[in-house]
Amino acid sequence: MTVSTPLDPAGSGNTLSGSAPATGPDTRATAELSAKAVDTIDLVVANINDRAIRPLLIAARALVFGMLAAVLGIVVVVVASVAVVRLLDVYVFDGRVWAAEALLGAIFVAFGLLAWSRRSPRPAGRDGRR
């Protein structure tokens, strides 16, 4: 008994084109071609990811973590400076804040002079000046 479908009113098993369903070497070749195309697209996307997106992600992470480290470093220096001034004011100079601030300022100046003396000279420009 054959069943008729809207595509095949006679129920002969034919498709829209009127021929037998597609099976055989052409279908395998089409499937292989499709798989090859998908693999090629996947390879292109992976290459774009490796060459463009991944370096951008690494740079963005470095920028974010660098900014975070800089901000935290500034906060630590400020809090430590306040704590040192407070400790010197209470325990060493007995209420003379100016002396504690002067001592801490002298220490910062000494570190600044040390860093300045260890700097490397700038390379000479095109006109010979530094």
Q: Which of 51-55, 98-102, 124-128 has the highest mean pLDDT?
A: 98-102
Give φ, ψ of 120 to 5 degrees.
-90, 145
Question: Which token pair is 81?
Answer: 């400076």
For residue 129, what pLDDT is reported?
Answer: 67
Q: How far apart are CA 92 and CA 97, in angstroms?
A: 10
pLDDT at 128: 63
Contact 22, 30 (CB under 8 A): no
- Collapsing DSSP to helix, strand or coil, 53 comes out as helix
Instruction: In whole angstroms, give the CA distance from residue 20 to residue 17.
Output: 9
**pLDDT for 127 beyond 80:** no
Q: What are the residues whose beta carbons fall under 8 Å from the beta carbon of 32, sequence distance 6 or more?
A: none
**Which pLDDT band, with edges at 50, 70 and 90, does 30 fall under?**
confident
Q: How many helices and strands (H and E) does the chain possess?
A: 3, 0
Per DSSP, 121 falls in state P
Query: Within a 13 Å sphere around the CA of 34, how many CA atoms are in the beta-carbon half?
Result: 6
Other beta carbons within 10 Å of 74? 10
